Amino acid sequence: MTRRLFLAGTFAAPFSGRARAQARQSEKVLIEPAVEIGVIRPELHGHFAEHLGTCIYGGLWVGKNSSIPNINGHRKQAVEWLRALGIPVLRWPGGCFADDYHWRDGIGPVQKRPRRVNIHWGNYTEDNSFGTHEFIELCRLIGAEPYIAGNVGSGTPQEMRDWVEYCNYPSGSSLADERAANGSPQPFRVRYWGVGNENWGCGGNMTPEEYAAHYRRFSTYLRDFGDTRLFLIACGPGGNNLEWTRRFMEAMPRRTRIHGYAMHYYSRGRDHARRFTVESLRAQLATFWDLEKAILEQRALLDKYDKDRRIGLLVDEWGVWDRIDPEEEKRYGRLFQHITMRSALAAALGLNVFHRQADKLVMCNLAQTVNVLHALLLTDGPRCIRTTTYYAFELMKPHRGATAVRVQAPEAPPPALSVSASRRQDELIVTLVNPRHDAGLDVECALSRGIAGNARARVLHHPDFNAANTFETPDLIVPRDHPVSASGSSLRVELPPLAIVTVQARLSGV
């Protein structure tokens, strides 16, 4: 890959002070501001909230009568922090939960909503106090575009078709009138609709051909209403399963409406979140090089069937999935894991991949928003904290809406230096990730064209990859200002081990 072209050798030198036993290495990166890749859609920084563990109940939703500060039932602190981060899109209600969810259970007077058993995640009984109206309200509170995953596994085309009408038809139909009677006279204008989820697994254990037949049938009845143009998303593979994609596309007539194709890609961890070894650290972080390969190969295969790229590629669920601690799961809910400095590095490595491949992707959703897997926020009763992953997204927020430009970095075995760069008019944004625990990096970013000036940088760093923001130490790891120098056609920055640095500089002469 050209972005990883070797440009300069490295040398080892003794570290001083606290990291005396560690090495420093010198790296040279070439940034080509005039070679544009594509716009970094804000949706590449998307998120996912499933009815799983305490992501919804006890996390985002505490109820209107809770003693925990809330906005109409939504946890106030979570709303404020997610709004500040600028969540571009939020996917709901699953995940596996989506294909056993019947949307009518979650509308109308709360006291009349049925109690249902969540068969996928622990057989918890849910009261359905969080449903379609509450989800839309949450999206509006945090400024996110709603993305609804429909029920194909245990639902019917009519059920999903009616959900679309209920959400989007302006007025005058029975479903639109019912929505108005339930407190929302204006249509929700939900554009993104997933036609099922993981239909190769928990969404029905289908073959690609079986799912293709279901997709064709369901999509036939999913229509645009008013001024809302639907973006219909088909279930892609788990991981880089090229056979699923090939067989699905072979079974799909060219006239079928498909706007997006969603793969899932998790980076599994061998250890409990706060007990990673160096070997398990390296193994997990190296999967992000495999993720980039998967995006390239899935997009190339889709292109054989879709030469005009009418179908956008999504990474619909991604993130680290560590070994779950049973005692923590009992206390905090299913799939709870601590979010460490390693987790933040993983988030930044993933976002760098998406930036570099911005022309091949339309959306990527981290799993999940609160308390589950690779979370932005953790809650415990009234307590709510921002994780290191929250801050990784915050550091990389300046890339949203900018145009990704080509980067060429040294070739090295993963996990190694990771870089992405983007340009917005006369501003250059560069994010550098040092995932190594044993070496700091002195990085020179040379510009192929233009002059850099007025540079500033922020860093997220901790020398212990198992360190985390906890309920007792919520601000242990937070972004800080970081030295950077701009001179002529180069930027120079030092990266300590286990660090994420985003540089913003004025760019002229391009």
Neighbour tally for 157: CB within 10 Å: 17
Residue 208 pLDDT level (bands cut at 50, 70, 90): very high
CB 121 within 8 A of CB 131: no
Contacts of 157 (CB under 8 A, 6+ apart): 217, 218, 220, 221
Structure tokens at 412: 């090295």
Query: Which listed residue (137, 198, 394, 494) is catalytic?
Result: 198
pLDDT at 8 over 50: no
198 catalytic, yes or no?
Answer: yes
Task: Tell me the per-residue pLDDT of 439-468, one tens digit each, with 9 for 90 and over.
Answer: 999 999 999 999 999 999 999 999 999 999
Task: Tell me the per-residue pLDDT of 403-445, one tens digit each, with 9 for 90 and over.
Answer: 999 999 988 899 999 999 999 999 999 999 999 999 999 999 9
| DSSP helix/strand/coil, 480 | strand
Residue 16 pLDDT level (bands cut at 50, 70, 90): very low
Q: Which of 385, 350, 295, 374 shows the shortest CA–CA distance to 45? A: 350
Looking at the domain that runs over 42-400, which CATH code has it been given?
A: 3.20.20.80
pLDDT at 14 over 60: no
Q: Which of 29, 24, 33, 31 shows the shortest CA–CA distance to 494? A: 24
Task: Tell me the per-residue pLDDT of 475-506, one tens digit each, with 9 for 90 and over.
Answer: 999 999 999 999 999 999 999 999 999 999 99
Task: Tell me the per-residue pLDDT of 78-128, one tens digit each, with 9 for 90 and over.
Answer: 999 999 999 999 999 999 999 999 999 999 999 999 999 999 999 999 999
Angle at which helix 208-220 crosses helix 242-250, to 10 degrees, equals 50
d(CA 432, CA 264): 25
Task: Tell me the per-residue pLDDT of 297-314, one tens digit each, with 9 for 90 and over.
Answer: 999 999 999 999 999 999
Task: Tell me the per-residue pLDDT of 35-57, one tens digit each, with 9 for 90 and over.
Answer: 999 999 999 999 999 999 999 99
* Per-residue pLDDT, 17: 26
Task: Tell me the per-residue pLDDT of 106-115, one tens digit each, with 9 for 90 and over.
Answer: 999 999 999 9
Query: Which listed residue (32, 165, 317, 494) is catalytic?
Result: 317
* Per-residue pLDDT, 9: 30
* Per-residue pLDDT, 381: 96
Contacts of 241 (CB under 8 A, 6+ apart): 200
Listing DSSP states for 87-148 in one string gives --EEEES-SGGGGG--GGGGSS-GGGSPPEEETTTTTEEE---S-HHHHHHHHHHHTPEEEE
pLDDT at 164 over 60: yes
pLDDT at 347 over 90: yes
317 catalytic, yes or no?
Answer: yes
* Per-residue pLDDT, 411: 87
d(CA 137, CA 134): 5
Fold of 2-39+405-508: Immunoglobulin-like (2.60.40)
Q: Which amino acid is at 484?
A: V
* Per-residue pLDDT, 19: 38
Structure tokens at 209: 């051909």
* Delimiting residues of CATH 2.60.40.1180 domain(s) in the chain: 2-39+405-508
Q: What is the CA radius of gyration of the chain?
A: 23
* Per-residue pLDDT, 22: 62
* Delimiting residues of CATH 3.20.20.80 domain(s) in the chain: 42-400
| Burial group, residue 254, by CB count within 10 angstroms (0-12, 13-18, 19+) | exposed
